[in-house]
Amino acid sequence: MIFRRFLNIALACGLLAAGAAQGNDEAVLGAYDAFREGDPDRLERHARALEGHRLQPWVDYWRLKLRIEDAEPADIERYLARHAGTYLGDQLRADWLRELGRREDWRGFEHELGPLVQDEPEIRCYAWRARMARGDAQAAIEARAVWTELRELPEGCQRLVGELLARGTLDEERIWKRARLQLYYGYVTAARRTLEELPAAARPDERLLGQAVTAPARLLAQAPRDLEPRAAREMLVLAMLRLARSDLDAAAQALLEGGGARLPQADREYLWARLATLAAFEHRELALDWYGLAGAAPLDDTQLGWKTRAALLAGRWQVVLDAIELMSPQQRLDLAWTYWRGRALSALGDAEGAREHYQKITGQPLYYSVLATEELGGEARIPQPYHEATEADVDEARANVELIRALELYRLGLRTEATREWMFAVRNMGDRRLLAAAELARRAAVYDRAIGTASRTDLLHDYRMRYPSPFRDMFREYAAAYGLEEAWVLGTVRQESRFIAEARSGAGATGLMQLLPHTARWVARRIGYKGYSPKRVAEVETNITLGARYLQHMLERTGHPVLASTAYNAGPNRALRWQPARALEGAIFIEAIPFDETREYVKRVMANTVHYALLLEGRSIPLKQRLGIIAGRGAAAADVPDKDVD
């Protein structure tokens, strides 16, 4: 059965036969490995066997990239001219711009910058420096935006920061503010580097800094008597931020009665805002009280988001509305906050205002768009008629060398490079060409690109391409065997792997249903799967068998599809820990999931399920009804391992 399926896929890949016939996959992969290892001599040996190969432009790029520091401008220009308008041309231009920036060749840099399509942080930093070099005073002001990046900065941005500090554009206030945030989010090394930018007289005592980082409770218990110097006060603030991450209650106590209580009001309010956000993250009922103690402290969009979620959990609709109103204009346009703003207005009796907000986000197959449509009395629909790519359209797509090059890279397993080239190639395509490219990807069994490309259309749609169902009979069979809704299983797989059978996550999850080794082993043992071995987990039928059975266990353990999807992504222990103390609307539960990844995952799985049901059955349970009510916490079994370890 499996053999027949993969035979069909192999036949569908015939469009790549010409590239494969040129052969020498080993030479391509050898050249790639040599490039990754920085070995130009070995790369040259492989490159000689690849003259005229479909992927020669990649090999030539790898050659130039490895010697970019010594490259002749004429060699760069020839490559850029030969590959103008392609991903490879744009990528080499970006590499060359970084090199010109390192050389501080600002005339050459600005000459090459114009045609660049990509937007990379380090190149932005060099662009600001180029403008500053020719006396553009506004550039130094704009460049302060680099200071909002909390992780370690790339070389070009570090040089920019040095120049801004030398000019006095970054003052002590901004340095302290960045260090606070870095320690709050756990970037200790980066925070230490930030504090090194302070004038020597303003730097904190190294002993106190060490205590703030490694023994914050001790520092707060033995706070310096003299808090007049800013560095001394800041060490208490930093200690409070560090302690809050490990012991929120102890941090709150120290702020009320301990060393933190001696801080100025502005610092105390800043800290209450941070502690309130952590409390909201942990679903604590006192989160809104702590936000109240924050007083006039300004809240950023992240803090306002968690204040909104805390208010949703508490049913405080006026607070929901007020918090969203304080978000930045760009953040207020987010689908989530547009929807919840509408819900708040509705709950407060402003039906017309609610309707206005719902109407802003309808007409898309996205989670909050579907919910908004339902609030307006409508329902999710599949756009008709389907627009199918013609053979002439597909032939045109097949003539696109970038698309074919990307498919060849996929065939060789170089997925990162393939995806970048593919995405660049389709970025400006119209609907007809997008659907033809999606069909080309589908025929090559590159389902993630088929889905992603078909999902970019504006007016012409083919939702069968957006929501494909390869291996359909297997999914139907095992969904029925385990009593699961087939649409839900397919919606889960679409989100987990985009139907890429060989998908593998950074954590080691494998296959269509992204099973971790210990999960696959546990399920196989539980169901008495004969002939199980770790090597078989990536096989399509084995993966679907074990994955569907595990999804069934998540449903049995949690009792609700929303909780089961949460558990499938984050592990059942977390899902049950996040289960509300009392019954809660499913949409509010999902919005309050602490992990960004899991929150978006569950939203997409549930929206996927609606659309798969429409495609497979011609009808679907409304999304809000599917989300339903999440029951309050109750006893649960404890013998099922987490998919992702807690």
Just list the catalytic residues.
496
Kindly report the CA angle at 363 between 360 and 367, in degrees rounded to 5?
A: 85
Residue 162 in tokens:
């040095």
Distance CA 291, CA 303 (A): 9
* Nearest alpha carbon to residue 578 among 155, 567, 34: 567
* Nearest alpha carbon to residue 590 among 572, 610, 575, 568: 575
Report yes or no: 634 and 576 within 8 Å, Cβ to Cβ. Answer: no
- Residue 3, sorted as left (phi over 0), alpha (psi -120 to 50) or beta, turns out to be alpha
Report yes or no: 277 and 297 within 8 Å, Cβ to Cβ. Answer: no
* Nearest alpha carbon to residue 217 among 236, 192, 195: 236
Distance CA 291, CA 276 (A): 5
For 515, phi then psi, to 5°, come to -95, 130
Kindly report the CA angle at 246 between 245 and 247, in degrees rounded to 5?
A: 105
Residue 139 in tokens:
């550039």
* Nearest alpha carbon to residue 405 among 374, 376, 429, 440: 440
* Cα 527 off chain centre by: 34
Residue 556 in tokens:
């049995």
Q: Tokens 């800290």 correspond to what residue? A: 271
Distance CA 441, CA 462 (A): 14
3-class SS of residue 504 = strand
* Nearest alpha carbon to residue 624 among 382, 372, 357, 383: 372
* Nearest alpha carbon to residue 562 among 587, 582, 581, 597: 587
3-class SS of residue 643 = coil
Residue 360 in tokens:
């802003």
Distance CA 594, CA 606 (A): 18
Distance CA 283, CA 314 (A): 10
Strand pairing report for 584-585 and 629-630: antiparallel
